[in-house]
Structure 1
């Protein structure tokens, strides 16, 4: 009777251990990229706090860091993967996430907004809004971070 309890328990422990190892192996490259990007950013600006990090894959890969400088102001840092130039903007000098969404809503009537994130293409900081339209098609809408101007649309995928 004990074998029927021990064997399934061992199988569950092995499967759980394997899943944990797979998870940490898959997260490790992102953590390495974050560490590299934050290190580069700290060489250009006095970052006191990192609130968010993500990787934007557009025309080129760009690491985006949102945080605070030593004065406590919110800043956004774009670190292109291949370029040595780092772009730094104060968050207050550009559109907020909500303002970018409102720009989309004013022009289009999205059925569902799936994600909104900062990115950069051709050295232009931007908001990428990924949404579904009424006919349930996938769309991308790009808004200039500083001016709020529409940059490009990819529609009906």
Structure 2
């Protein structure tokens, strides 16, 4: 290849790379804004020292959830409704852990390919939404009650 061809291909590659990076950053902007707003709402009730995880869940409504440590070193979970901003708080002793929800799901379904686990509300009850990838490349959503650890609902073959 001559020098001109290499220069043109390099320029095309750079434009493509910058475009992909721009699309990625734009897609993350909504998530970052939702997390920031959720943290600001929770800070009205708690002194947030550390954020462990942020979850965005859409069940019957959209919820933003925060796993955080307060200034006294106590772990809490906050579930915030996107519409209206109502907040429900739970201590680490009130709900099962994300790992427990994953373990329960694996035991109940015999599926091990967990893609993600998120905390939210379903019918005003806290649930862990466990997303699994099936052997036929479809998704299954398995909902575990976060208070009791009992199965709530399964949505399969999506």
TM over 0.5: yes
- Residues 1-49 of structure 1 show CA distances to partners (whole Å, capped at 9, x for unaligned) of 4322322222222111111111111111111111111111111222111
Q: Secondary structure at the match of 1:43?
A: coil
Change in CA separation of 1:111 and 1:24 when aligned onto 2, cut-off 3 Å: closer
Q: In the aligned structure 1, how far is the partner of 2:16 from the partner of 2:81?
A: 38
- Residues 83-123 of structure 1 show CA distances to partners (whole Å, capped at 9, x for unaligned) of 33211111232111232233234433225333322111222
Partner of 2:82: 81
Length-normalised TM-score, structure 1? 0.86
Q: Secondary structure at the match of 1:77?
A: strand
Partner of 1:126: 127
Alignment pair present for 1:139 and 2:144: no
Residue 94 of structure 1 contacts residue 147 of structure 1 at CA under 8 Å; is this kept in 2?
yes
Change in CA separation of 1:28 and 1:109 when aligned onto 2, cut-off 3 Å: same
Q: How many residues align?
A: 157
C-alpha RMSD over aligned residues: 2.2
Partner of 1:67: 68
Offset at residue 150 of structure 1 (A): 2.2
Residue 44 of structure 1 contacts residue 86 of structure 1 at CA under 8 Å; is this kept in 2?
no
Partner of 1:101: 102
**Gaps (5+ residues) in structure 2?**
none
- Residues 43-94 of structure 1 show CA distances to partners (whole Å, capped at 9, x for unaligned) of 1222111121121011100001111011111111111100332111112321
Alignment pair present for 1:14 and 2:7: no
Residue 75 of structure 1 contacts residue 91 of structure 1 at CA under 8 Å; is this kept in 2?
yes
**Gaps (5+ residues) in structure 1?**
none
Change in CA separation of 1:20 and 1:132 when aligned onto 2, cut-off 3 Å: closer
